[in-house]
Structure 1
């Protein structure tokens, strides 16, 4: 009976020792997956050097490993600023960023969690960077030259976040709005420009019409001059007589059967014309 109790006690002790060894083993290493980095803290103090992907040993029970995601993160951050012409401009940015694995220990010491990084670092620095970019241009330039606004914003934000161990991969402007007063001013300006363009078109049209009238008047004057010269020249009277007959014919009036013209003393030969033959 005594031997059975002794054997049972030994089994219990061995089982406890094995359980302790297993527990120690489980708490003596950690596995870091690809795209992650671990920061180990021993007795509440972060140690230098981050754990990158792979298996790592750590002191059991007295150490904690904080794992950070090194892949690209995306957060939307609102921002508001005044432009060079003192107009209010609001925007919403999508910030794609990742943590620098070399500085992840410093990030753990100064900022802690990823939520703190967004709230304490990225959001305020986004606001300041937007103020820098917006203050360099008017609200109209910010809207019509959005790509230039984004370039200035990216440069300012990247420079500010780099010292915190945050690498900006890309940014995009999700929304860009301005005050209702400016929207009304833009609409009025567009209407005024359209009216001005219409006035210029009407003025050009009137100028072209006036020039056409001048050209037609010059043409009539030249025709009258040539006709006068023709009538003054020898044989001009015959031209006048022919035009009179053609006008008579085209007018449809009753024409005389015989017409004699040029019987005055200035005509060399009387002009006798049987109009009845012409009608036949």
Structure 2
């Protein structure tokens, strides 16, 4: 009885069923392989049988030839590279520099970068370019100038690095030189020089202060001498007689009306004309 309930299929029907399943699987596979999605902040490099194609895919959904074309996504958002480099200044001082670089890929030409360099462009292109640009610029300045002219140094490094990266379709956004560090001996020499400069400035200011005070004293003395000279010029016989009369009038005002007990000289306040 059990064998009577089993549905028997002819070999022809089994073959058709298998063929249908295979066709469905192939269609599904072709459907998944015929489209690609480029995520935001990326561009797609198209490889056709291993050869880089001139067309670059931008964000969104795109058709591709199944099993013939392959799409390599490359990030075109701003990326940061931070590195520490050691170089030499113009006066042969060892300079250690920490620098941060922001850059991004040219979205329209990522295929050229992939063809020339590949996906390891950061270690092959960006980092060596940073080191080369930094060494070339720091060699133009003394150690002290690297500190005092930091903004100028930064601009020159940026210009040099921008030119090097643009060759590979990498766009430089900004750089930030975090610090310059030198040897302990150089730091001590700089500190000693600063102390000496401060002392020299203090001495200069003290001399200027003493000079000003001396000039003030001379000016004051000259003014006093001039005043005495003018007073001397104004003294006349009439002025002397006037002062004598004023003195006598003051004495009369203070006299109590009594004559002195002892005589032997001229009576005060009385002048007899002969």
| TM-score (norm: length of structure 2) | 0.76
CA separation in 2, counterparts of 1:208 and 1:191?
26
Aligned to 2:54: 48
Q: Does 1:175 align with 2:182?
A: no
State the SS of the aligned residue for 2:177: strand
Which of 130, 133, 137 is matched with 1:133 structurally? 137
Q: Does 1:83 align with 2:89?
A: yes
Q: Does 1:203 align with 2:207?
A: yes
Q: What's the offset of the Cα at 1:181?
A: 2.5
- TM-superposition CA deviations, 1:187-246 (whole Å, max 9, x none): 122211211121122222322333344345445655666777788957759979x99xxx
Aligned to 2:115: 109
- Contact (CA 8 Å) 2:81, 2:127: kept in 1 or not? no
| TM-score (norm: length of structure 1) | 0.74
CA separation in 2, counterparts of 1:144 and 1:124?
26
Q: Does 1:35 align with 2:45?
A: no
Gap runs ≥5 in structure 2: 1-6, 248-258, 270-274
* CA spacing shift, 1:186–1:4, aligned 2, 3 Å: same
CA separation in 1, counterparts of 2:158 and 2:62?
37
Gap runs ≥5 in structure 1: 244-256, 264-269, 274-280
* CA spacing shift, 1:272–1:213, aligned 2, 3 Å: farther
Aligned to 1:251: none
Q: In angstroms, what is the RMSD of aligned CA positions?
A: 3.3
* CA spacing shift, 1:33–1:212, aligned 2, 3 Å: closer
CA separation in 1, counterparts of 2:237 and 2:216?
32
Q: What's the offset of the Cα at 1:60?
A: 2.4
